[in-house]
Structure 1
């Protein structure tokens, strides 16, 4: 019995097959075609939507957008690799109708239209809303660090520059001292050692001068670090190491783990980004109130209060920090505040009264204590090493009390956050290979991640909605 054999490559066909025959009826490229054709690209901010009457014709923005959407959906992000796909990939050949733009044209399109990709992402979110794919009850917010096109060795902090200048001065003093001491001896050996020391001194001085210029620049701008390859990137802690990159924020609807809102920032910490990320998501979903859950990295009282004022009920894990936690003493959350008497009840049942106040970040901070009760308290060794225990509260700390009550009623909500919002990041970094950005500059990496988030959502929706229903919804979507 022989093996299955193919056709002779030189065999002529009486009725040549259509290119359309090679693309299945439910192939994702057909959805990409329908989705992009339904968009008003000029309204979304794409350049050169209308062709010019004179000059050489250019590629239609719709075709290049389709190419990028296909590429990000299939883990192909580089313009050179996308160019290669236009020559060998039947799906891409079908999608672009045999067009073969070169890599520079492809790269220029992404760069020139960097502000238009986010509105395209928003249009797909509106499609998901139309298909009722959002639960619109709980948003999970989280951030991840994605590496920039900037090596760690080309990032300098204010402290590292000061330290290098100090070490350079010490090294220069040492070199000059050795140079003075060895002048006579080097004359007898031809001066080779003196020459080597002179080259080292020149190299250290040159690098010291560069560091001094960067230090002056930081002092002038007020920044705390500088990156040479990608000036917008920042050194950020990522698990157990520090990498130079960007902080990517997403708000995920927990029903189907779809990304409702995303943004890229070079802010090192997540603190202060909760409302900034969740509020636009709430507005897109069109609800008056919604629950928002985040990890302890977002714990900031001003941000939590802003969430409540915007119609969101935040659930943020409270970090256990401070000297009492480190020493194994009673934590602050073990002291109950009594709003009626404006006092704090300690674990021993004693009332702590307000005794001093101060301002912190523009908020009034009140300190509570009861020196007499602490003096003879049997629990003092478990409470403080000082003469008495002091507990502080901010004037708006009632917002944290309300959040603590909500968390007590829904203890599993933090686990729900982990199961939902970490799914997109796992898929994006592992399956989509988006562990690093390809472009430089904050605006450009924002465009890059908008395409990534769009591709992630499309892949999710293709598995959730029947293909015919999805394409029908695209045609009904208002442009």
Structure 2
């Protein structure tokens, strides 16, 4: 005879003399306990000061901060989903102490109370983790990745289009005035020319149009010209005002989004083949150690080169100390960055452009450009270069070149004495006269110093570690945490959001280490 199955007892309708404690349902090493312990140890008086006294009671900012950090650790970014979890998830109930702030309270705290204040909280947590031995702040690995903004992908403003639109208005104003001069020329008269045709100030544009209308008053003018003047009076001044506002918002960038003016259009990598398209976004810069995020900043530029100094300065400001060593990829190698790191006495393991190609050519023994300026022999004592034929190229002067960031480079020029009749001339250069080369001696020295460091055993170790240290962090954020697009708008709010992501990443690493 077949035995009957035995079912486990269901105590759903069983009355309890004492209700169970939430603490019984939370394992000892659960991530929620880590979040609770860490947040309890940090100073949040800067947030508490933002609350006004009196009135109705408020949720304590420490409780709301715990809820937000744990939500991001659990990949919950929507304030409505967080509100729902507070009533359904026993871990959220335990962490919050059974308080249930609604989604508006959570959203306002994240985008309002934390704005501009979260970075100091993040730094406190990093220092705490460093004291516990999870990471150190001496050796950092820097890289960047682009994250899409919460903005419309198809409403954009280009810096060049603003200039083009202004130039079009200026040209049309001049064309209208030429018409005025043509009308007056038929009557052998000369009108008073407007002072300025530039489409910079809306009032001046309006005054110029009024002056053209006044000059044509009582004249027999073309119907199309009259229609154009009416259109110009109605639209051009407000268009110029719009261009001025957009130019102020865009700053020194090439583009911006209309729905999030702080976001810049950047090419996003969509798949493993690096296919992508232009989308509004922010350039996230991160410093890591042992795959923990030590520092983060957001840039509105697409190139990593111009972000390194500000990012490092932010690190120094946050921890009152500079790192001993900094490792970065070739996107950060520049004259200005090398000089800055040298001045701050930070040991730099930073590649320059074509570093890998240079090593590959040396390994293969190939030399595709044997007559390039960097292959010419240089005598430091006499400040003289020598051409491939051994002819001295003497110093003929120097000039300064200013980069887009305002950094000044000193460029020295050297010229050969006589290239006429030289058999190597077709291979050496294609200029009409004697060959001239331009050299940035400071950059040459800094690149030689960087190359020596990069090829040292310590440099090779740092370069190997950079790949799995910082790039793995971005992989975790984008794929495991599924954070590929911001939910908030405006750089200050977005900085808070990426800070929550960074802290959640770090605390998740702590839970894995236990």
Selected match of 2:298 from 245, 250, 264:
264
Q: Would you say 1:423 and 2:472 are equivalent positions? A: yes
Could you tell me how far apart the structure 2 residues matched to 1:374 and 1:84 are? 83
Q: Which residue of the other structure, out of 377, 380, 384, is the alignment partner of 2:429?
A: 384
Does 110-119 or 444-453 show the bigger shift? 110-119
Whether the 8 Å contact between 2:137 and 2:294 is mirrored in structure 1 is no
What is the CA-CA distance between 1:382 and the residue it aligns to?
4.8
The answer to whether the 8 Å contact 1:317/1:414 transfers is no
Secondary structure of 1:143's match? strand
Confirm or deny that 1:278 pairs with 2:312: yes
- Cα deviation, 1:132-164, whole Å, max 9, x if unaligned, reads 333555321111111111122111103345668
Q: In the alignment, does 2:118 pair up with 1:117?
A: yes
Partners in 2 of 1:405 and 1:350 — Cα distance?
30
Higher mean C-alpha deviation, range 111-120 or range 303-312: 111-120
Q: Is the 8 A contact 1:334 1:346 kept in 2?
A: no
Q: Are 1:403 and 2:431 counterparts?
A: no
Matches of 1:114 and 1:20, distance apart in 2 = 32
Structure 1 partner of 2:331: 297
1:101-140 paired onto structure 2 within 5 Å = 101-110=101-110, 111-136=112-137, 138-140=139-141
- Which runs of 5 or more residues in structure 2 are unaligned? 170-232, 270-275, 356-360, 362-367, 403-407
Are 1:227 and 2:257 counterparts? yes
The equivalent position to 2:243 in structure 1, one of 194, 212, 215, is: 215
- Pair 139,391 (structure 1): closer, same or farther in 2 beyond 3 Å: farther
Find the aligned partners of 2:320 and 2:264 in 1 and give their Cα distance.
34
User: Is the Cα–Cα contact under 8 Å of residues 348 and 450 in structure 2 kept in the other structure?
Assistant: yes
Give the equivalent residue in structure 2 for 1:188: none
Question: What CA deviation, in whole Å up to 9, does each residue of 1:305-361 have, x standing for no partner?
Answer: 01110111223322249xxx9xx6355544465433323466777654322322101
1:49–1:60 Cα contact (<8 Å) kept: no
Deviations 1:396-447 (A, max 9, x none): 3222332222223335644432222111111111111221111111111111
Determine which of 223, 238, 242 is the counterpart of 2:268. 238
Higher Cα Rg, which structure = 2
Query: 1:290, 1:336 → 2: CA distance?
Result: 35
Give TM-score, length-normalised by structure 1: 0.77
- On the 8 A contact 1:250/1:263 being kept in 2, the answer is yes
CA contact (8 A) 1:129 1:285 kept: no
Compared with structure 1, are the counterparts of its residues 357 and 38 closer, same or farther at alpha carbon in structure 2 (3 Å cutoff)?
A: same
SS at match of 2:381: coil
Does the 8 Å contact 1:293/1:315 carry over to 2? yes
2-side partners of 1:124 and 1:455: how far apart? 11
Task: Give the match's secondary structure for 1:46.
Answer: helix
Matched with 2:214 is none
Q: Distance in 1 between matches of 2:166 and 2:51?
A: 56
User: What TM-score does the superposition give when structure 2 sets the normalisation length?
Assistant: 0.72
> Paired residues, what number?
422
Q: Distance in 2 between matches of 1:334 and 1:125?
A: 47
Query: d(CA) in 2 for partners of 1:433 and 1:284?
Result: 28
Cα distance, 1:4 vs structure 2: 5.4
Tell me which residue corresponds to 2:24.
21
Q: Residues 218 and 412 from structure 1, CA distance in 2 versus in 1: closer, same or farther, beyond 3 angstroms? A: same
CA contact (8 A) 1:275 1:303 kept: yes
Contact kept in structure 2, 1:165 and 1:208, CA below 8 Å: no
- Structure 1 Cα separation of the partners of residues 292 and 491 of structure 2: 24
Question: Are the structure 2 counterparts of residues 219 and 62 from structure 1 closer, same or farther at C-alpha, using a change threshold of 3 Å?
Answer: closer
Please say if 1:355 is aligned against 2:396: yes
Deviations 1:230-253 (A, max 9, x none): 111111223442211111111112
The residue that corresponds to 2:227 in the other structure is none
How far, CA to CA, are the matches of 2:89 and 2:24 in structure 1?
14
Task: For residue 69 of structure 1, report the CA deviation from its aligned partner.
Answer: 0.8
Distance 2:116 2:164 in 1: 40
- Give the CA deviation at 1:165: 9.2
Q: Distance in 2 between matches of 1:287 and 1:82?
A: 37
- Correspondence for 1:394: 440
- Give unmatched runs, 5+ long, in structure 1: 169-204, 467-479
* Cα distance in structure 2, aligned partners of 1:443 and 1:288: 24
Among 8, 31, 34, the alignment partner of 1:31 is: 34
Q: Aligned in 2, Cα 1:32/1:134: closer, same or farther, shift over 3 Å?
A: closer
Deviation at 1:208, TM superposition (A): 9.5
